[in-house]
Chain A
């Protein structure tokens, strides 16, 4: 029964006659190729030989010269390479080559360029927002806070309380709780934490109703 339901007759798109017109006879089908085509297919025809004379040689040399010139000029933009912290012997030479090129600006006719490309017009980039804990003072404060919390827990166990201390610790607790709350809020931003668990109790209920009038 396969192949029924979409048009009638054969499951190919062409009739026998059309196939024949295209030059495909019965039983003439090529075996299916399952392997991918080769990465470097064989050349069916040989390419023409390249002519090499003095003019060509000259052009090849000139071309290489031009490329070399460009590579040494500031037109060749180099990435700022980050060192991995390991000192190598070859660094000496590489750095020398880099230093020679560093700070050189392409000499252009600046009047013909839009202002944003001109050298003096280096726009001051907006300083990226400081992270909260980058300041050493902040880190210290935070560490103190945590330390105090630890000691407080210890003291709680020991049930040693003093009125003055309590007040202070309450403050600290509030501080900490505030931060924890903030973190919680961020966590709640996604719905991963939501409970989608289905205990499967409703499973049978639906079926009972459907028994009476089936859906066609």
Chain B
């Protein structure tokens, strides 16, 4: 709950849902939880608009309400706001792993936030009915939906439970039951979507996706450190782990080698089967925990302050508590430069200092000893704050860019829609070109440039989100 996070959350809300939602969201972020009347008072917005914004926030799981007696307080969930940036990654994961149908289902579900299975499938089927290349049928959609539910990528939304005498619902989590959808009923619903009476609602299970990302990262790390086969072993290990222990546990239960051997026999990799024991041994020696937190920090330091600073950072980390002179001796750097870099690291809060005074010496030269050390978690937090602030900056830069060239972008959009319409009516190429020429060459150049910049900013945002994911994950496992 830091200042940077608040700025970022406000910026994201502004970009996704508009200024009014941003105002309400920011108000909630600053004060924790609040009832409607208070929000109306502190934001100065009309009540209807506050209600509308709260609906938006609640719908997309960005806020929750807490009821105490007849009062309802609303509370923002900043972490879920940050997830908005991660949506494309979920879709990519789906597309690459389960294909287009799964992607479409997840996309629609993310857009609807919560939706009943029948309605969801029917909307998708109707939307792409005329699309020949996708070649969707309601049956394949249904099958994909069921397999997604089985794999827990989607789960049932909490169900409202009414208490007696009060109007305020109490949301209760329910266990997901894989639905049994009737194809014929779905076909009927497709014909007239108005009378769908399915009241089991579904939503996306973010945690399951995160679990996938984590596994990917682990396997990739193993592959990079040792080789492909080690990655394969890692995958098998993870598979076995899911069978025996909770997904987000710190350590898995012990996995017998024989089980591993069994499963490796299934995969037809002879090499793997033969050298399984060796690989396990190497991993054991090399591993010491797959989570090598400090590596990321090392990278951050290198990128920001150069490799020499990273050397000092590593040195301090390896020795735990170091005196300044020792740093100078061991870092193999010129004295002055070393000092400068050390102080720079201190200034950026990557390392901290622990003063120790000698108490025996009463007077005279009171020489304190300053021990430098790395507080890993603090450094991580610093990193996270940096991510937040740069994400915010990116988003700001983007909106600035868009507003600066708003006129040109508008014109481009209008020309595009007109041309699209003309193409649909299959008008002559000449007249289409006439319309296209309303954009002058300098404008075209400018637009291309702006588009390139926007894309770069977007990519950077996604990349930063990836970093944030890793950092958060480190904080998750202390």
Contact = CB atoms under 8 A, between A and B. Distances in A.
Interface of A: 15, 17, 21-23, 44-45, 47-48, 50, 52, 55-56, 58-60, 62-64, 66-67, 69-71, 73-80, 106, 108-109, 111-117, 122, 125
24 contacts: A17-B367, A23-B336, A47-B303, A56-B459, A58-B88, A62-B87, A62-B88, A63-B462, A67-B15, A69-B111, A74-B52, A77-B21, A77-B52, A77-B56, A79-B49, A106-B59, A108-B58, A109-B114, A111-B160, A112-B157, A112-B159, A112-B169, A113-B65, A116-B72
A173 B388 CA distance: 70
A100 B254 CA distance: 60
B58 A78 contact: no
A153 to B, nearest CB: 47
A56 B169 contact: no
B168 A114 contact: yes
Contacts of B72: 114, 116
Contacts of B349: none
A56 to B, nearest CB: 5
A75 B17 contact: yes
A66 B111 contact: yes
A50 B160 CA distance: 45
Given A69-B111, A77-B17, A117-B51, A63 B58 contact: no
Given A60-B455, A114-B67, A75 B59 contact: yes
B18 interface: yes
A106 B36 contact: no
Nearest to A66: B87
A63 B67 contact: no
Interface string B86-119: 0111011001100000000001001101100000
B33 interface: no
B20 A78 contact: yes
Contacts of B56: 75-77, 106
A17 B366 CA distance: 9
B458 A79 contact: no
Interface in B331-388: 336, 339, 365, 367
Interface string B110-152: 1101100000000000000000000000000000000000000
Contact of B18 (A59, A76, A115): A76
Contacts of A76: 17-18, 21, 56
B188 to A, nearest CB: 22
A55 B92 contact: yes
B113 to A, nearest CB: 8
Contacts of A112: 114, 157-160, 169, 171
B249 to A, nearest CB: 30
A133 to B, nearest CB: 26
Given A45-B304, A66-B111, A77-B49, A108 B55 contact: yes
B169 A117 contact: no
A69 B110 CA distance: 11
B308 to A, nearest CB: 12
Contacts of B89: 59
B18 A21 contact: no
B87 A113 contact: no
B400 to A, nearest CB: 13
A75 B63 CA distance: 14
B20 A116 contact: no
A20 to B, nearest CB: 11
B463 interface: yes
B304 to A, nearest CB: 6
B337 to A, nearest CB: 11
B217 interface: no
A108 B113 CA distance: 9
Contacts of A77: 17-18, 20-21, 49, 52-53, 56
A64 B51 CA distance: 26
B456 interface: yes
Contacts of A50: 456, 459-460, 463
B158 A58 contact: no
B416 to A, nearest CB: 13
